Amino acid sequence: MDFESDVSLKEWCKDKPLSILQLDPADRAVLRIADERDAIQKKTFTKWVNKHLKKQYINLYMTTTKAREELNDLQNNLHLKYSHKYHKIGDSITKMKGFVEDMKMRIPSEEQLKLLVPKGGWSGMITSSIPGVKKNEGIPSELLQKTMLYLHTKYSDATKLYTDGTKSAEGAAGAVWCEEHRFTSGARLHVLSSSYQAEVEGLTLALKHVSAHDKNKRVVIITDSKAALDALANLGQDDLPPLYLLRLTQLLRNRVQEGYTLHFQWAPSHLGVPGNEKVDRYVRQVSTMEDVPVGLRTNHKDCEQEIRSRLRREWSVDYESGTGA
């Protein structure tokens, strides 16, 4: 968003709907800077506003359906205003929506945005360690033996699902391997997706497959991603899960309501655990398979670097054309 030199950002904001003005601390700082911008070069200030407001547009567009409606209404009404500054605002919203579409960002539904963590949370389902086993500490053969014994002893009567995610120059993907069904399933992700999001996708695919087990409803999902398990375990009662966990937590809630007893278990990678090795090989294949369509599963947080890159290109064009400050 670009502002004329005689227009205060605070003046523009004061009559806007409340949900649009629920800014994070960085954006409130922008408002304070707006009041003192006479001491700041206009070019520097414009870059600052552009970066934070475009991120804020996307955050609002993704996190609340009410703000999504208000931004759409604002865009529709701004073209009636015969003022350059209003056209700039409208253009900024149009670019934001185009960026959301270009990056194939996942836009959560109203139902997903109302999902709250149930009483007690999910931490009781999660084990992020194995006694005597730490990755890269100890003799691999001994670590493998301890891991296999632990999994067999603790989950002897449970169906085992192994998940993995990968991110490389060739692409990103998540996958699941079902030991009982000898079944694999994978999904390619948008090139901007992070390795973390790929791991979450693997867990999501596992929860989708859980419903295929109608006889044994005790299921353990085994992953090497402590980060994903910690994120799930740290969600407290009545918390609203972050956007990147919405699909996962929605499926988790559904499977629990269907009567499944679920557990998530960490296990170290590259030790030779058969299920881990199977899904690791498969997910790497999926990430490069041209016949597997790229899913519309991009998380908007994974696109922040691309936002910065696009803004730099816009500033460069504006500067070269003489429209930049």
Q: For the segment 240-284, what is each residue's pLDDT rounded down to a tens digit? A: 888 889 889 999 999 999 999 999 999 998 899 999 999 999 999
Residue 53 confidence (pLDDT): 56
Residues whose CB falls within 8 Å of the CB of residue 191, separated by 6 or more in sequence, listed in order: 171, 172, 294
Pick the more confident residue, 51 or 107. 107
Mean pLDDT calculated for residue range 155-178:
93
For residue 99, pLDDT over 90 is answered with no
**Mean of pLDDT values over 218-233:** 96
Q: For position 314, what pLDDT does the model report? A: 60
How confident is the model at residue 65, as a pLDDT?
A: 72
The CB density around residue 227, as the number of other CB atoms within 10 Å, is 13
Average pLDDT over residues 129-134: 93
φ/ψ of 172, rounded to 5, equals -130, 150
Could you tell me which residues are beta bridge partners of residue 174?
165, 187
| 56 has pLDDT over 80 | no
Residue with the bigger pLDDT between 8 and 157: it is 157
pLDDT recorded at residue 6: 40
Regarding predicted confidence, which is higher, 5 or 270?
Answer: 270
Mean pLDDT of 22-27: 51
Query: What pLDDT, on the 0 to 100 scale, is given for residue 302?
Result: 62
User: What is the pLDDT averaged over residues 88-95?
Assistant: 73
Of 183, 202, 204, the C-alpha closest to 253 is 204
Tell me the two tokens of residue 63: 């996190």
Please answer whether residues 177 and 162 qualify as being in contact, where contact means their C-beta atoms are separated by less than 8 angstroms: yes
pLDDT tier at 186, thresholds 50, 70, 90: very high
Question: For 275-304, what is the mean pLDDT?
Answer: 76
| Mean pLDDT (whole number) for 317-325 | 53
Percent of the chain with pLDDT over 70: 66
The pTM assigned to this predicted structure is: 0.70
Kindly tell me the burial class for residue 198, based on how many C-beta atoms sit within 10 Å of its own C-beta (0-12, 13-18, 19 or more): buried
Domains and CATH numbers, the chain: 9-105+303-321 (no CATH), 110-298 (3.30.420.10)
In the predicted structure, residue 151 carries a pLDDT above the cut 60:
yes
Nearest C-alpha neighbor of 198 from the set 304, 303, 299: 299
Mean pLDDT of 61-67: 70
Q: What pLDDT is attached to residue 25?
A: 52
Q: In this model, does residue 234 exceed pLDDT 80? A: yes
Rounded distance between C-alpha atoms, residue 280 and residue 139, angstroms = 21
Q: Which of 181-185, 248-252, 263-267, 291-295 has the lowest mean pLDDT?
A: 291-295
Work out the average pLDDT over 98-123.
80
Q: What is the 3-state secondary structure (H, E, C) of the chain?
A: CCCCCCCCHHHHHCCCCHHHHCCCHHHHHHHHHHHCHHHCCHHHHHHHHHHHHHHHHHHHHHHCHHHHHHHHHHHHHHCCCCCHHHHHHHHHHHHHHHHHHHCCECCCCHHHHCCCCCCCCCHHHEECCECCEECCECCHHHHHHHHHHHHHHHCCCCEEEEEEEEEECCEEEEEEEECCCCEEEEEEECCCCCHHHHHHHHHHHHHHHHCCCCCCCEEEEEECCHHHHHHHHCCCCCCCCCHHHHHHHHHHHHHHHCCCEEEEEECCCCCCCHHHHHHHHHHHHHCCCCCCCECCCECHHHHHHHHHHHHHHHHHHHHHHCCCC
